[in-house]
Amino acid sequence: MKTTCLLLSLLFPLFLLAASKPVPIILDTDIGTDVDDAYALVLAARSPQLDLRAVTTVYGNVAIRSAMARKLLMMMGREGVPVALGEEKPFDGKEIHWGGWEGKGVLVEGEIVKGVSQTRAPDLISEILSRTEERIVVVSVGGLTNVAVALRKQPSLQAKIERFVIMGGCVRPFVLEGKKIPEKLETNLHHDVEAAALILQSGVPITLVPAEVTFQTKLFLKDFDRIQDASSPLARSMSYMTQDFGNRLKIFMRNFGVDRYYADMATLLHDPLAVYTLVDPSIMKTEKVKIRIETGPEAIRTIEDQRGTIAIDLVTEVDAPRFSKVVADRVLEERNAN
């Protein structure tokens, strides 16, 4: 018995060391249109529990998206994180929606941001997976085209992926103030149906952060006020993008008659919640469920079904006030140490 206790006492510090080792991740994002991708980048870059190996951009004008990601990383002193341009269009080549406000608040008109990788995103993903000895978590908060292209070129790389964390899909009924909200308001999986189906059916473990949860994950006004009061370049950029997109979002949700629900928020925190599943799972509830997928023209449905063949970890609930504070704290990190 004494021998067993001694052995455990010697091994326990090793367990702590293993548990405290940062999780290596690649963040694949369509940063720019909605401000939530920028907040996701802040969490990925500033959470000590994470080892951000690369940022890859997808969908639409990836040059602007990459320049934004690069400049935000520079504001945070993370110039060493590579940023790569990814696939502009989905596999089916459909037209890309472009808001037109991408880059505002971060990039000056005509600005050239140096340091974006010359390697395309799928190739950078492949390089990182090929050369690493440990497995990588791929956090996807945009369309899944980049990752699907990489795995189609080198299927063996799938074994180097520890898990996909995906913000996307709508698994359970999405009801606010007694009104059912259309599933297709979630756009990440719909951006590239073929790529989404490939990744969901890959067999790699998946954590899915669905729209019915993220549409209730707010950046509350009291926390946004703290960001607005700060004077750092990062805080100023986040303030501008949050106000700009948040106002558009509130007008959009007014069309569904749920604007009262959003009266106390500055914006929604869809994508940051996906990143935070790897930082502090205690802030949310997760269930192991099975789903099946149904695909159609420009649409994919993720349906809970105990006979389904896709097993996932599904985020079902979040402590939104607590998470809102965490996100604001990360933006303000240079002023208020956590």
What are the pLDDT digits (tens) for 24-79?
Answer: 999 999 999 999 999 999 999 999 999 999 999 999 999 999 999 999 999 999 99
**Cα Dmax for the chain:** 71
Closest CA to 246 of 234, 230, 273, 228: 228
Closest CA to 213 of 312, 306, 319, 289: 319
- The residues pairing with 119 across neighbouring beta strands, listed in sequence order, are none
Contact 171, 212 (CB under 8 A): yes
Burial of residue 60 (CB within 10 Å: 0-12, 13-18, 19+) is buried
Q: Is 164 helix (H, G, I), strand (E, B) or coil?
A: strand
Q: Is 303 helix (H, G, I), strand (E, B) or coil?
A: strand
What is the amino acid identity at position 265? M
Between 4-18, 81-95, 175-189, 209-223, the lowest mean confidence (pLDDT) is in 4-18
Give the helix/strand (H/E) hosting 52. Answer: strand 50-57
Mean local confidence (pLDDT), 315-329: 98
Q: How confident is the model at residue 186 (pLDDT cuts 50, 70, 90)?
A: confident
In 64-87, which positions are buried (b, 16+ CB within 10 angstroms) versus exposed (e)? bbbbbbbbbbbbbebeebbbbbbb
Q: What residues have CB less than 8 Å from 173, skipping those under 6 apart? A: 180, 212
Give the DSSP letter of residue 328: H
Share of the chain above pLDDT 90, in %: 77
The string of pLDDT tens digits covering residues 273-313 is 999 999 999 999 999 999 999 998 778 999 999 999 999 99
Q: Is 5 helix (H, G, I), strand (E, B) or coil?
A: helix
Give the DSSP letter of residue 260: G
Q: What is the pLDDT of residue 95?
A: 78
Q: Is 25 helix (H, G, I), strand (E, B) or coil?
A: strand
- The residues pairing with 164 across neighbouring beta strands, listed in sequence order, are 138, 206
Between 28-37, 106-115, 121-130, 181-190, the lowest mean confidence (pLDDT) is in 181-190
Q: What is the pLDDT of residue 315?
A: 98
203: its two tokens: 């067999």
pLDDT at 16 over 80: no
Q: What is the pLDDT of residue 185?
A: 79
Domains of the chain: 22-331 (3.90.245.10)
Higher pLDDT, 286 or 16: 286
Q: What is the mean pLDDT of the chain?
A: 91
Number of Cβ atoms within 10 Å of the Cβ of 191: 24
Q: How confident is the model at residue 334 (pLDDT cuts 50, 70, 90)?
A: low
304: its two tokens: 């809970």
pLDDT at 168 over 70: yes
Q: What is the pLDDT of residue 19?
A: 53
Reported in sequence order, the residue ranges of 80-212 that DSSP labels E, i.e. its strands, are 83-85, 136-141, 161-167, 175-176, 179-180, 206-209
Distance between alpha carbon 126 and the CA centroid of its chain, in Å?
19
Q: Is 100 helix (H, G, I), strand (E, B) or coil?
A: coil
Question: Rounded distance, CA 227 to CA 235, Å?
Answer: 6
The string of pLDDT tens digits covering residues 90-101 is 998 887 778 888
177: its two tokens: 């103030």
Q: What is the pLDDT of residue 257?
A: 87
- The residues pairing with 303 across neighbouring beta strands, listed in sequence order, are 292
What is the amino acid identity at position 284? M
pLDDT at 7 over 50: no
Mean local confidence (pLDDT), 119-140: 96
Q: What is the pLDDT of residue 11?
A: 46
The string of pLDDT tens digits covering residues 211-254 is 999 999 999 999 999 999 999 999 999 999 999 999 999 998 88
